Chain A
Amino acid sequence: MTDHVVDLPPSPPAGQRIAPASGWRGFVSDWASDQTSFKGVSWGKAMMWVFLLSDTFVFGCFLVAYMTARMSTTVPWPNPSEVFALTIGGQSVPLILIAIMTFVLISSSGTMALAVHYGYLRDRRKAGALMLLTALFGACFVGMQAFEWTKLIHEGVRPWSNPWGAPQFGSTFFMITGFHGMHVSFGVLFLILMARKVLRGDFDTGRRGFFTSRKGRYEAVEIMGLYWHFVDLVWVFIFAFFYLW
């Protein structure tokens, strides 16, 4: 598909070949050109970004709804620092489980970034192993979230009431963390599928995908990574606004 590139005169570095202008000049000429605005960006990556943008609005709406509920209630909001405390060795440590979940998710983002790196170096063993490690961290995170949900439900938290204060606490908690946990779960699933493709060498042998019947490229690892980092990114905001505020 890109054979035509070969017969161009001395090939300048990537991206520049397609749209030489950079900075604001390039910004204007990119948007003013026909066919594609995102020069040097494959459709797969562009579509993932568009999806992530729409997902940003979904989570943005959840967090805005939470803000509205918390600001407008006349009943005190439960103190997350105490609600999510765990008793370790007879001592109550505030928010400790959430902190551990945060570190686990950040670690998974780190391993994913390395997986993308080794994917582009065409080191399929390292890339695949790192993706599986990422999936393991993700599964770990979901497990801890399940533990947290179980604990809170045992303590009497329901979407319509809870023992500590404003009843909206339960509904926003289950909605926001549940939706995020679902994203992590799907991410784990796709990570395992993608790791299998990478380890089997699909992107080296040009094996066609079961679903798309098209050959894949190592860029698929980066696109998978975009999704995974986004899930981590959303958690950064949930951690700040829901758990710490």
Chain B
Amino acid sequence: MSATTVHADPHANPNVSSDAPVADEAHQHHPVRLYFAVWGWLFVLSACSYMVDYIGLQGWLRWTLIVLFMLLKAGLIVAIFMHIAWERLTLIYAILLPPLLVLVFVAIMASEANYTLLTRVLYLGGGP
């Protein structure tokens, strides 16, 4: 930090001086083979999740497989295509941790939805 500050052009606009780490480009060179491999895996995983529906699996097996294939695909896209695997931990956690809060929201709304269903069944004469 101090090294770059000392040598920085004193006339440079401080707002602009921090915006251009050209060096960043250096660590985004990866063999094309890697991108093709990920591409191929995404095709395979998509085909797998489509087969879950095509074969007509039901129940927990269906849901588990759907979520498994979904997470694997999402992981490949974020890690390799979006280069997160090569970013610093600081950025990784700033990006990947906040979405986990959505899971809390999911839990709250799932409980709320169950309650709504209960009241509908009890008081509105609906029901399976």
- Given the complex, which residues of B lie within 8 Å of A64, measured CB to CB? 102, 105-106, 109
CB-CB under 8 A for A30 and B66, given A4-B4, A40-B24, A222-B83: no
Q: Which of A13, A18, A19 contacts B26 (CB 8 A)?
A: A13
A binding-site residues for B, Cβ under 8 Å:
1-5, 7-8, 13-15, 17-19, 22-24, 26-27, 30-31, 33, 35-46, 49, 52-53, 56-57, 60-61, 64, 67-69, 71-75, 81, 94-95, 99, 102-103, 106-107, 109-110, 112-114, 116-117, 120-121, 217-219, 222, 225-226, 229-230, 232-233, 236-237, 239-240, 243-245
Question: Chain B interface secondary structure, helix, strand, loop or mixed?
Answer: helix
Quick check: B116 and A40 within 8 Å, CB to CB? no
Q: Are B39 and A113 in contact (CB under 8 A)?
A: yes
List, sorted by A's number, 14 A–B pairs whose CB atoms are closer than 8 Å: A8-B7, A22-B88, A26-B90, A33-B1, A38-B90, A64-B102, A67-B109, A68-B112, A72-B116, A94-B53, A110-B35, A113-B39, A232-B81, A240-B69
Q: Which partner residue on chain B sits nearest A232 by CB separation?
A: B77
Contact among B4, B16, B106 with A67 in the assembled complex (CB-CB below 8 Å): B106
Given known pairs A4-B4, A237-B74, A240-B69, the reply for A14 and B127 (CB within 8 Å) is no
Residues of B within 8 A of A (CB): 1, 3-4, 7-9, 12, 16-30, 32, 35-36, 38-39, 42-43, 46, 49-50, 52-54, 56, 62-63, 66-67, 69-70, 73-74, 77-78, 80-83, 87-91, 93-95, 98-99, 102, 105-106, 109-110, 112-114, 116-117, 120-121, 124, 126-128
**When A26-B89, A74-B128 are in contact, do A41 and B28 touch as well, CB less than 8 Å?**
no
Would A53 and B35 count as touching, CB distance under 8 A?
Answer: no
Other A-B pairs beyond A1-B12, A117-B32, 5, CB < 8 Å: A19-B88, A36-B18, A72-B117, A117-B30, A233-B77
Measured CB to CB, the nearest residue on chain A to B1 is: A33
Bound Cα distance from A5 to B24, whole angstroms? 13
